[in-house]
């Protein structure tokens, strides 16, 4: 098998398998990152709880030491030493249960310690004489919790922890790159620890977003995902401890996704390339389908409309002009909506400046004479269409910014082929080669198509003394007279009222046209006869004048009858001395 064919066969499956492989690798990496995030989070929960309980255990040792004090002065001295050496302790409180008196070693107010909403959780795993309080605000913006020891006498010794310092050992704990660990007092719903110290003591939004409900249902340990501040968050929680604190650890979903971004990015890039290839194939297919329709156009006006539709669909532009070129006469012509042609410029030298396969993008300053005639006064593309080495048309497309040249080249190439075939087909099947009028076959078809249509008339005209013109002035002059008659016919009988302008043979022509009534039909032909009589052509600086005779009839009953009546009227005009218009009003 040839290498190009092998590459074509294997390239698409290879790209698809590569994309699928990268997506699978990204998916596996994502699962691995998620598992790693959960493992780190569980590990962080364990570490955080161990750090907190180690501090509670250390406080219990200090409480035992204070319980052994021999006197009040020894108690105060020991307490002050403990507070001085341990910054995480904010105060030591002594409570006399008989007198209900609260005494601060540092002589601070004790109103907050006597608050009725404070709750205690015994540490039975150590001893029933120890308990941990819920968090409370000792003074404004200073949140604490206490560990108390109940003496044999029933009195109590409290060590209060300043949360701002007591939980800072948890700051080093995080999940992945942007994860978090925080601790919530399950009794009050307030934050015991948060990476942002200013949040300590405030209600936890995340805890109240769903974890608290799970705790209340009896689920003390598990996973939970929630949405907070435009981020999807995954977390694990652990509330299975004697002090009723809930330890929460987790991270954002985006943090998990970022760990697999290399595979995801590669898959996205390859997927984008695949999408780009599919998009290009789709656009190419659509463009080919639309361009193929150009081959089905039956006339120049239809071709122009279809070409304009294609440019509208595939190119950004500010206007399109299509000019056809007649190499025999050097005419650049435009076609209106009804198919009427209009000569814009006669310049054979300009046609020589265009070259096959050329495509230029220029500004107003460099516009060619034809573009100026068409009033193209902005940046534009000039796209000439050729039949081999012969110019057949020029497309002007106004565009503020350049577009894809590959698309314009495809449109140009297809248009050249379609227009060449259309023009060749029209010449062979429907047009007279010399005058570009309809030929006899086309005329007969159009007569049949308009039989018995109201307001339709057929005129046959003949150049008077044409043989004399040929004999006296030569056949070249005769040919110029014939083409001149054809040009005047196009001028006097424009579409849509003109149904067919035809050369019937030699110096004889036919006009199938619409009129309001017989008088209007007669007046239109009389105006044409008068125009011919007053016009002239110049050959070798010598004017050549000629006249025509015209016979008219309504287009009814059949093709042969209509042609016969018009021909009879023509001979009547010649019998009256030529340069006449005769209307055959005979009705069957």
Cβ neighbours of 331 (radius 10 Å): 19
What pLDDT is stored for residue 287 in this prediction? 82
Q: Where in the chain is the domain with CATH 3.30.70.270?
A: 440-583
Give the number of C-alpha atoms closer than 13 A to the C-alpha of residue 141, restricted to the C-beta side: 2
Q: Could you read off the pLDDT of 347-383 as tens digits, one per residue?
A: 888 988 999 888 999 988 888 999 999 999 899 999 9
pLDDT of residue 197: 83
Q: Give the architecture (CATH level 2) of 440-583.
A: 2-Layer Sandwich (3.30)
What is residue 35's predicted lDDT score, i.e. its pLDDT?
82
So what's the pLDDT on residue 91?
93
Q: Which H or E element spans position 476?
A: helix 475-492
At residue 588, the pLDDT reads: 44
Q: Could you say which residues of the chain have pLDDT below 70? A: 1-5, 7-9, 11-12, 255-267, 427, 586-588
- Which regions of 56-212 does DSSP assign to beta strands (E)? 89-96, 101-104, 120-122, 130-133, 136-139, 142-150, 156-162, 180-185, 191-193
- For the domain made up of 297-422, give the CATH fold: Beta-Lactamase (3.30.450)
Class of residue 396 by CB neighbours under 10 A (exposed 0-12, middle 13-18, buried 19+): buried
Backbone angles phi, psi at 553, to 5 degrees: -155, 165
CATH 3.30.450.40 residue spans of the chain? 297-422
DSSP string for residues in 13-73: HHHHHHHHHHHHHHHHHHHHHHHHHHHHHHHHHHHHHHHHHHHHHHHHHHHHHHHT-SSHH
Retrieve residue 171's tokens: 């700051």
Confidence at residue 361, expressed as pLDDT on a 0 to 100 scale: 92
Helices 261-292 and 3-67 pack at an angle, to 10 degrees, of: 150
Reported pTM: 0.47
The burial of 177, by beta-carbon neighbours within 10 Å (0-12 exposed, 13-18 middle, 19 or more buried), is given as exposed
> What pLDDT sits at residue 193?
85
Cα–Cα distance for residue pair 27/233, rounded to 1 Å: 19
pLDDT at position 571 is: 95
DSSP 111-134: TGGG-TT--EEE-TTT-TTEEEEP
According to the model, what pLDDT value does residue 1 have?
46
């Amino acid at each position: 098998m040839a290498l190009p064919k092998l590459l074509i066969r294997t390239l698409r499956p290879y790209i698809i398998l590569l994309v699928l492989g990268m997506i699978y690798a990204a998916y596996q990496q994502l699962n691995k990152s998620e598992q790693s995030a959960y493992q780190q989070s569980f590990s962080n929960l364990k570490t955080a709880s161990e750090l907190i309980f180690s501090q509670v255990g250390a406080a219990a040792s200090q409480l035992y030491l204070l319980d052994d004090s021999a006197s009040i002065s020894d108690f105060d001295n020991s307490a002050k030493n403990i507070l001085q050496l341990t910054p995480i302790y904010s105060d030591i409180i002594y409570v006399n249960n008989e007198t209900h008196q609260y005494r601060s070693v540092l002589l601070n107010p004790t109103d907050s310690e006597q608050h009725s909403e404070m709750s205690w959780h015994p540490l039975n795993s150590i001893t029933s004489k120890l308990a941990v309080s819920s968090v409370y605000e000792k003074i404004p913006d200073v949140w604490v919790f206490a560990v108390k020891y109940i003496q044999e006498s029933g009195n109590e010794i409290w060590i209060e922890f300043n949360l701002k310092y007591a939980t800072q050992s948890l700051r080093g704990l995080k999940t992945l790159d942007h994860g978090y660990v925080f601790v919530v007092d399950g009794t009050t719903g307030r934050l015991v620890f948060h990476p942002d110290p200013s949040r300590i003591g405030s209600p936890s939004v995340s805890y109240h977003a769903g974890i608290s409900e799970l705790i209340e249902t009896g689920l003390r340990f598990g996973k939970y995902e929630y949405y907070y501040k435009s981020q999807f968050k995954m977390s694990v929680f652990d509330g299975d401890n004697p002090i009723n604190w809930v330890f929460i650890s987790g991270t954002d979903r985006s943090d998990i996704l970022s760990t697999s971004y290399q595979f995801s990015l590669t898959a996205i890039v390859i997927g984008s390339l695949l999408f780009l290839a599919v998009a290009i194939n789709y656009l190419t297919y659509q463009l080919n389908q639309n361009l193929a329709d150009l081959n089905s156009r039956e006339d120049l006006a239809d071709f122009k409309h279809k070409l304009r539709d294609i440019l509208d669909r595939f190119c950004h532009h500010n206007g399109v002009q299509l000019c056809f070129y007649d190499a025999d006469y050097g005419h650049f012509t435009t076609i209106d909506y009804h198919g009427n042609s209009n000569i814009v410029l006669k310049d054979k030298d300009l046609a020589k400046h265009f070259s096959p396969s050329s495509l230029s993008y220029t500004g107003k300053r460099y516009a060619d004479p034809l573009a100026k005639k068409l009033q193209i006064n902005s940046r534009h593309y000039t796209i000439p269409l050729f039949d081999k080495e012969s110019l057949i048309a020029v497309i002007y497309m106004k565009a503020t910014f350049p577009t894809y040249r590959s698309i314009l080249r495809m449109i140009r190439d297809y248009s050249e082929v379609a227009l060449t075939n259309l023009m060749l087909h029209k010449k062979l099947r429907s047009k007279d080669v010399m005058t570009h009028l309809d030929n006899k076959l086309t005329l007969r078809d159009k007569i049949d198509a308009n039989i018995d249509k109201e307001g339709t008339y057929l005129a046959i005209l003949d150049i008077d003394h044409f043989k004399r013109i040929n004999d006296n002035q030569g056949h070249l002059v005769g040919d110029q007279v014939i083409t001149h008659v054809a040009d005047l016919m196009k001028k006097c009988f424009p579409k849509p009222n003109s149904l067919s302008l035809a050369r019937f043979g030699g110096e004889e022509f036919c006009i199938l046209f619409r009129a309001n009534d017989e008088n209007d039909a007669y007046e239109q032909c009389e105006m044409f006869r008068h125009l011919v009589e007053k016009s002239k052509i110049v050959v070798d600086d010598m004017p050549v004048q000629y006249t025509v005779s015209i016979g008219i009839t309504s287009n009814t009953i059949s093709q042969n009858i209509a042609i016969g009546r018009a021909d009879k009227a023509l001979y009547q005009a010649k019998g009256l001395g030529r340069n006449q218009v005769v209307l055959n009003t005979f009705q069957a």
